[in-house]
Structure 1
């Protein structure tokens, strides 16, 4: 069951999964409205949903044309559906309420462009939209989706899938811990039971954590700042937290957290211009871009890449890819493997020619070299998973920094081996050896088959002293991680490459 679920999640981007989740919540709420299981007229709910969708879509089209940036329809629909789920449904005859909902929708989308620095928006769009509607028009969000016990099972089930896809359990758990601790500290002990029940059954806690808090563009991109962000938002989220007579709402708590996230995260969105394309294997290519300003990153980190698509598919127009170049190089290198049935994103990428542009943002990732150069390391790569190691090795070569590293590189055939020149330079200049595991057609000096426990023991007798970095197809990463654990390697000494989307 878990494996089937993982396969399903693998073929959905984070954005598409959240979109399906929100759509399902609204659909069920609409049905429950006819059964009087939610306190809202289904006709009003349908009208409000159509209103926010139209307002958000039109506003986004205006700004896309004005700023000439790729449109991301999924992001627009997600923002609209969140608004429909947290603002009370309104009747078409209530002009004041209709105006407030439209106002919140327009400002939610506008904030992505107006309240942005270097084309990176500062605030969660839905949170800002409802905060402004409450402040200026006295039309606050009721977060009704979180206050209905009949919707609770779906909120939980879909939210668990989102957290599993994003691998943000640390973020959500910290938020829950901070919020619940603050609620208990500010509540009479005799009311603990009631407070906890109401918090989970009739408050926005769960929906807020699963959908709003995990939004990647306005949260920190590395672990410890992310934990601090969750703690700040969790503390302010508690209903009894106030400054004088001013009490925080969920959206205001998140906006404060967004300011913290901006302060500690990499800034800006980059427009990269394609210089050339290099073929690295039989079906893999490196796209080499130039940037108008220096991209400061650590070797092994990834970026979110966005292309304008005339017609998208289930994977959307955004992807997360490792930066294959080293921070010491002037160009920005993107390594991509193409499949016979490629996504719309990769088909569009395949049509790019020198002079074409792509948008990149959300620099993130903890899959980086340890700060201590004496730490023994093992790089385990499968196929195109060699890209973060290419970045790290080129970085060490350019800095002439030798480290105790062993590379195990698994491929299907000789034609699938990429970056031979970098691997060769690392061996000659730094003494970093690469051992090739080739499934079909291995030659002398190569290991016939896939990376396994036997190869690990053969190439590094001191493997229990090493920190393992694993990058490649998800099935390979999971299998190798289990093998290493069975060999006695501690969990804390295994790092896996991770992207919050599907590449």
Structure 2
């Protein structure tokens, strides 16, 4: 995601540079070029110094993303004094990653911090400049939308950001309309709505800043709440009187308020895990068991993001998401599992981690949670390594002595690839197995679907004739979810956990 965001911002910057030659955007070409270089050097230099002092891994992608966002938020310039303001914002943004933190996790969006610092300082020194959000121009609306959708689709935050955009646009429309009415002027509502929706920074703010995973709360309802709050404050900026001048509670300050709300929702902290042991679950599935150095909270079915620093990472970087296979009651022991076979740099680095080595968890997220009502019948459909979130849920039910009506449909390439058998057996639930070969030692309440039966929509309906009365949960590759969609659509509800592998 770092690479995708960085390249998307680079494309937007290059396009803006070209458009500036035709006076289609606010700043000129040399203003954009010089400001971009200054921001990149200031952010990278500050990050490098902080990472050296704190002995942290180098993350230049983060530096360039912060610089690129600030390029569109601040006012590009060639004035020497204003260049100092650009440097001030860049240094403040980068330092916030290491100063405005809680147990190793930064609380605020760095670019929003940098822009806010410059805006407040400019009250005392106006020549330093301030934020301008020149990205909110009609000619850049379409590129921002296209690039933003590419990012939000990958992070599954599209609906949340669309909700923010609708709220911000509606509030800004009402505010502007009331201002025109107060001075006795009329305006075409359609023209005003178009201007507010596409000539404002809302699109960029939502796609590239609000959606930042590290400042998002873990639950979906919390994320929507943050989106609404930011939308309201961004759409109706509140003026702040500082005695010698006034600043408005604009886009970046609205985002900081949302970041603070997200922090209090989760009070997330960086979690350090120490590798205890490795275990071979199947010929291709490996389990890693860690000890957490301090307590942290998660719910059965959620996932964590594991950071494995290594040299020469591939385009997907040094972080990956893993469903937690252990229950909250197992803490401080934490288990994850993964399938071997990928040649990614991350998998190679993970295979080389020695017992006793510490690794960082950058956060816990997810809404792949069983129904709160314990009497609700549930269907679990797991494909291969997709069984891991269900293992966490089943271990939790056993640990809390809950008896629920649960049926597991377990799909594997072969009988010897059925992982976590002991954990599933301990839950005492019925299991329907779909494998090409017949398992020879199935536990009680486990049945094999048969050699001639494949798991498609018809096969699932035959295996689960009462599917219409169950809440369905499926964890597996997107292709399987698509194949089963006609059958899963009959369930009382459907929750998916799709993954594409590493």
Q: How much has 1:463 moved relative to structure 2?
A: 1.1
Matches of 2:169 and 2:20, distance apart in 1 = 31
Q: Evaluate the alpha carbon distance shift between residue 180 and residue 425 of structure 1 in structure 2; reply closer, same or farther with a 3 A threshold.
A: same
Matches of 2:485 and 2:50, distance apart in 1 = 45
Matches of 1:277 and 1:201, distance apart in 2 = 52
CA contact (8 A) 1:365 1:498 kept: no
In the other structure, the counterpart of 1:133 is 118
Alignment match of 2:337 (pick from 335, 338, 342): 335
Q: How much has 1:196 moved relative to structure 2?
A: 1.5
In the other structure, the counterpart of 2:434 is 437
In the other structure, the counterpart of 1:3 is none
Matches of 1:172 and 1:254, distance apart in 2 = 13
Q: Choose 359-368 or 68-77, whichever is displaced more.
A: 68-77
Structure 1 ranges of 4+ moved more than 6 A: none
Q: How much has 1:252 moved relative to structure 2?
A: 0.6
> Cα deviations across residues 305-353 of structure 1 (Å, max 9, x unaligned)?
11212111111111111111111113111211122x4211111101001
In the other structure, the counterpart of 1:85 is 72
In the other structure, the counterpart of 1:211 is 208
CA contact (8 A) 2:457 2:485 kept: no
The answer as to 2:93 corresponding to 1:108 is yes
What is the aligned length? 477
Q: Evaluate the alpha carbon distance shift between residue 364 and residue 152 of structure 1 in structure 2; reply closer, same or farther with a 3 A threshold.
A: same
Q: How much has 1:173 moved relative to structure 2?
A: 2.7
In the other structure, the counterpart of 2:132 is 142
Q: How does 1:61-460 map to 2 (within 5 A)?
A: 61-91=48-78, 94-137=79-122, 138=126, 139-147=129-137, 149-186=138-175, 187-188=177-178, 190-191=186-187, 192-239=189-236, 241-242=238-239, 247-330=248-331, 331-339=333-341, 341-427=342-428, 432-440=429-437, 445-447=447-449, 448=451, 450-460=454-464
CA contact (8 A) 1:71 1:308 kept: no
CA contact (8 A) 1:320 1:502 kept: no
> Cα deviations across residues 20-61 of structure 1 (Å, max 9, x unaligned)?
211110111122223333333323322221221121112112
Q: Choose 149-158 or 105-114, whichever is displaced more.
A: 149-158
> Cα deviations across residues 74-101 of structure 1 (Å, max 9, x unaligned)?
222211111112222222xx32122111
SS at match of 2:371: coil
CA contact (8 A) 2:476 2:498 kept: no
The answer as to 2:469 corresponding to 1:465 is yes
CA contact (8 A) 1:146 1:205 kept: yes
Matches of 1:41 and 1:180, distance apart in 2 = 28
Matches of 1:90 and 1:123, distance apart in 2 = 26
CA contact (8 A) 2:272 2:294 kept: no
CA contact (8 A) 1:70 1:306 kept: no
SS at match of 1:401: coil
Q: Evaluate the alpha carbon distance shift between residue 211 and residue 362 of structure 1 in structure 2; reply closer, same or farther with a 3 A threshold.
A: same
Q: How much has 1:441 moved relative to structure 2?
A: 5.5
Q: Choose 25-34 or 108-117, whichever is displaced more.
A: 25-34
Structure 1 residue runs without a partner (length 5+): 1-13
Matches of 2:12 and 2:391, distance apart in 1 = 43
> Cα deviations across residues 131-182 of structure 1 (Å, max 9, x unaligned)?
10111134211111222x2222211111122222222233223212322232
In the other structure, the counterpart of 2:496 is 496
TM-score for the superposition, normalised by structure 2: 0.90
Structure 2 residue runs without a partner (length 5+): none
SS at match of 1:144: coil
Matches of 1:131 and 1:450, distance apart in 2 = 58
